[in-house]
Amino acid sequence: MAAMPKAPRVSAQWRNVGRIVARRLGLSVFLLIGITTMTFVLSHVVPGDPVATMLGDRGTPREIARMRSQLGLDRPLPLQYASYLWNLAHLRLGTSIRTRRPVLKDLADYFPATLELSTCALLLSLALGIPLGIASALRRDRPLDHAARLFSLGGVSMPVFWLALVLLALCYGRWDILPAGGRLSDFTLPPPHVTGLLLVDSLLANDWVAFRDAAWHLIAPSICLGYLTTATLARQVRAQMLEVLNQDYIRMARGLGLSEPVVILKYALKNAMLPVITVIGLSYGSLLSGAVLTETIFSWPGIGRYAVGSSISLDFPALMGVTLLIAVLYGVVNLCVDLLYLVLDPRIRDGAAREIE
């Protein structure tokens, strides 16, 4: 019988990378514990009684005492925190004081809207910011470079709420070419719920009417939310490309007769993208944490509006659930950025392997 081919061995280098990932995931547990502790303490230090806020002026002292007992707010803080950690270990985030629903269910209902909006805004920023930064670097101190720098300056200087109001006033109030807000029009039936992402669910249901309507509603908030990220990416890509284009290996590649697109895309851009990846990761984490002003102005039912409503009503379980979700999202995004570093740059991968050894 012919010998069976041996399975390819996993290199020791990549095994060390796996150990680094496992170690960082272990450290993330301690980070989450610290975040939950700080959030719990700060939420209970804030003056005010959530039960009194929920019941209003008509709540009698007996009703307030009964509600506090039902919610466990009459127990000592250490017992409340121990109970919260125990429930958290079993994926129970408690019940929202404001909505009277499990916080986990609220997050599952509100977060897909933020995920869809943030992803579209980031894709728009990548499609515009990176080419704009490359073109600005290749045409340094020319009219295109000046226009790109002015565009970037406006993006980092312009308040988000002002841009959102201008878009609403022009695109909806005067020209009537974009909807005022929301995820779907009143006359459009939503697709069957699968992921909570309207674009994905409408594609799965082959509902092109809902897909076009959902995409139409995404344009204005995506532009508003992605303008700052686009400007930041354009400035970062321009700065990194200007630094890389002056390196000796770029001049050598051009001297060897390589075409300009190959030199720019294969050699210059690849090395310039390492610091840009960090900016992309941090921007995406910030977008996923909930754009409060954008979601409020455009009536977008995302995690930002949910957090604002919870803070107004002193909804401690909901606030801690939102904070924990944001911490997890930032941790996942940072881990993905670190993994991209390890994949794109062998020097970082070798250094990480030596560190673990």
pLDDT at position 1, please?
Answer: 43
**Residue predicted with more confidence, 290 or 184:** 184
**Predicted confidence band of residue 176 (pLDDT cuts 50, 70, 90):** confident
Cα angle for residues 322, 311, 77 (degrees, 5° grid): 80
**Predicted confidence band of residue 2 (pLDDT cuts 50, 70, 90):** very low
42 occurs within a structural domain: no
**Residue predicted with more confidence, 36 or 187:** 187
120 pLDDT higher than 60: yes
Q: Give this prediction's pTM.
A: 0.84
**Residue predicted with more confidence, 20 or 144:** 144
314 pLDDT higher than 50: yes
271 occurs within a structural domain: yes
Q: Dump pLDDT digits (tens) for 199-231.
A: 999 999 999 999 999 999 999 999 999 999 999
pLDDT above 90: percentage of residues in the chain: 32
Distance of CA 295 to the CA centre of its chain: 14
pLDDT above 70: percentage of residues in the chain: 88
Q: Among residues 296, 299, 116, 131, which one has the least CA distance to residue 222?
A: 116
67 occurs within a structural domain: no
**CB of 52 closer than 8 Å to CB of 64:** yes
Domain count, the chain: 1
Looking at residue 128, which CATH number applies to its domain?
1.10.3720.10
343 occurs within a structural domain: no
**Predicted confidence band of residue 261 (pLDDT cuts 50, 70, 90):** confident
Q: Dump pLDDT digits (tens) for 273-304.
A: 888 898 898 889 888 876 788 888 898 999 98
> What mean pLDDT, rounded, does the chain reach?
84
**CB of 241 closer than 8 Å to CB of 275:** no
238 pLDDT higher than 70: yes
Rounded mean pLDDT, 119-127: 94
288 to 22, 33, 123, 312: CA distances (angstroms): 24, 21, 13, 21
Amino acid at site 251: R
The residue to which tokens 């609220």 are assigned: 106
Give the bridge partners for 136, in sequence order: none
| Domain boundaries, position 266 | 103-312
Q: Dump pLDDT digits (tens) for 29-47.
A: 788 788 888 878 877 777 6
151 occurs within a structural domain: yes
Give the bridge partners for 95, in sequence order: 102
335 occurs within a structural domain: no
Other Cβ atoms closer than 10 A to 150: 10
Q: Among residues 341, 297, 284, which one has the least CA distance to residue 123?
A: 284
8 pLDDT higher than 80: no
pLDDT at position 7, please?
Answer: 46
**Residue predicted with more confidence, 176 or 56:** 176
72 pLDDT higher than 50: yes
pLDDT at position 199, please?
Answer: 94
